[in-house]
Amino acid sequence: MSLMTMILKMSEGLGKTCAIFFLTLLFSLPLGMIVALLRMSKNRVVSWITRFFITILRGTPLMLQLLAVTYGPYYLFGAGVSRNKLIPVVIAFSINYAAYFAEIYRGGIESIPVGQYEAAEVLGYTRFQTFMRIILPQVVKRIMPSVTNEVVTLVKDTSMAFTVSYQEMFTIGKQIANSQTSFMPFIVAGVFYYLFNLIVDRLMGRIEKRLNYYK
């Protein structure tokens, strides 16, 4: 198989890699905020349960979570395995990354001085208005470097979808490598991931620069 043919064949899986990436961000970013707010709840039971689930998601391998979400329903309830494996893959990725984003959000929210909440209350803002108009914009600015780091990691983690035989780029590369007894597909995959990450890093860097409005 020529190098060009190999690249074209692997590029077919690039769209599925991008689907995992963008759908995971679409669901995990808002879900992470919900989890963070539950984690910070004054209700100790809600806070403890949320913290417990976060420790499980952060303390176990993503690969294991992918297998659990994809095949768990079959072994536990006898339900059929989803034909479209993108669904369980995105669910597993979204839940996992929501746990990480939740802790990032929590750190950002707790870094805001209490005086800002008090000042907003004096000005007549409701709790919702205070959070949306005063707290959240500052939190977004402060957590961007950490969020960028997680987004960059997500690009590479998409390759773990091969564990459930989802035909994304790395899975196709692995299949070609096995059939051709060649390491070249892995090099091509590495270049793909590097370029993808380069684009993501540049975009996130521009967003960070726009948020650095005090400099």
In the predicted structure, residue 98 carries a pLDDT above the cut 80 = yes
Share of the chain above pLDDT 70, in %: 98
* CA nearest neighbour of 32 among 97, 91, 89, 87: 97
Domains and CATH numbers, the chain: 3-211 (1.10.3720.10)
Backbone phi, psi, residue 69, to 5°: -70, -40
Residues 6+ apart with CB under 8 A from 74: 80, 81
Instruction: State pLDDT tens for residues 31-86.
Output: 999 999 999 998 999 999 999 999 999 999 999 999 999 998 888 777 777 778 89
Burial bucket for residue 90 (CB in 10 Å: 0-12, 13-18, 19+):
buried
**pLDDT confidence bin for 124, thresholds 50/70/90:** confident
Q: Give me the chain's average pLDDT, please.
A: 88
Q: What residues contact residue 50 under an 8 Å CB cut-off, 6+ apart?
A: 35, 38, 39, 41
Q: Could you report the per-residue pLDDT of 174-213, keeping only the tens digit for each?
A: 888 888 888 888 888 899 999 999 999 899 888 888 877 5
- Following CA atoms 61, 84, 176, 20 in sequence, which dihedral angle do they give, to the nearest 10 degrees? -50
